[in-house]
Amino acid sequence: MKIVIDGNIPFIRGAFEPWADVVYAPGSAIDRNLVADADALIVRTRTRCDSQLLRGSRVKIVASATIGYDHIDTVWLAEEGIKWTNAPGCNSGSVMQYVTASLCHLALSNSLDLRSLTIGVVGVGNVGSKVVHAARALGMKVLQNDPPRKRREGLKEFIPLDNLLAASDIVTLHVPLTTEGHDKTHYLINRENLPVLKRDCIIINTSRGEVVDNIALRKTLAAGRLGGAVLDVWEGEPRADKRLIKLTDIATPHIAGYSVDGKANGTVTVVRETASHLGIPLAGWEPDSLPMPDQPVIGLDLHSPMNTPLNLAAMAVRHTYPIDDDDRLFRSDPEKFEQLRDNYRQRREFSSFLVNVEDAETRTIVQGLGFKINND
């Protein structure tokens, strides 16, 4: 039995070796010759899994350690009887942390009171629902748009997209990339509806670059008709529009979901799914251990007059993830897009940190974000 694995998937080495011949390769180097005699293929988004790669191979399952699966030709795989799987929700906590860190960075840098702002969440699935919870913990008013859920559940809180765009101070996107159908998300944000946004609105995109018309967004920002942008994803990755980068508040190389926790969750999913399909006994497999944060305990002090409960919570968020560091690295050399992704630092999510704080309001906020609280 042979299994081909993207060598940049963390924590996976050693999982299959007792049962299979395992070949590790960079995602961009996985080709027809390598997979021709493979029984399974485990990838990330950088490997296009379609007829060009897999026709004539003996691959029985394709597993992607990612939420997104637009790099997989699911229709062709189904026609060929090849099982495919992804890892839905695996990095939802990581993306929530990224969005929360962005909000807190903007608040601290621009003296914004998040409690006075309305955030519009477009796509309320695994990721979006956690962003909704975090935004409410920060005291923000939340609007939600999710047409598929609206049809299934009929909930009144799901409103039309244009209504959300017109009423939001911040819009954050958490939809899959789809290019056809009733719920097409390709260019969901485009030159027709960008003018609907408030002139001081900030747009956040951590979904897929093509969900936003990047040229239209660049022109809107350059004309001063939008308050700002936080972009982790770009059209034409790994090449990003350098003129657009200069106009953003935060720019990063598709690493919102790159926490240690998110990566581990994705690896667990693909190992278990692949093993089950191939008859390998790894149903309860977990990584041996995850690296702990360098400073897992956070002390917050309310005594300074500037330290309001919301500012203290923002400082706790920054302790876990100083997002401006990622912005600085990417902005200094956008050509290192893939290098920055492949060598991304170890970032743990909020639940890996213990907060010492006496103030009850601050405790409520940070606990709502998912931090552990020291009750001693």
Residues designated as active site? 208, 237, 254
Cis before residue 238, ω within 30 degrees of 0? yes
DSSP-assigned beta bridge partners for residue 24: 5
What residues contact 304, with CB distance under 8 A and at least 6 apart? none
User: d(Cα 188, Cα 344) in Å, to the nearest integer?
Assistant: 29
Q: 174, 95, 129, 87: which is closest to 350 by C-alpha?
A: 95
Task: Please provide residue 106's backbone torsions phi and psi, each rounded to the nearest 5 degrees.
Answer: -65, -40
Give the ranges where the chain is alpha helix by DSSP (H). Answer: 32-35, 51-54, 74-79, 92-110, 126-137, 147-153, 161-167, 214-222, 242-247, 260-278, 309-320, 323-332, 337-342, 360-369
What residues contact 119, with CB distance under 8 A and at least 6 apart? 103, 135, 140, 141, 142, 143, 168, 169, 170, 171, 172
Q: 93, 91, 94, 57: which is closest to 76 by C-alpha?
A: 57
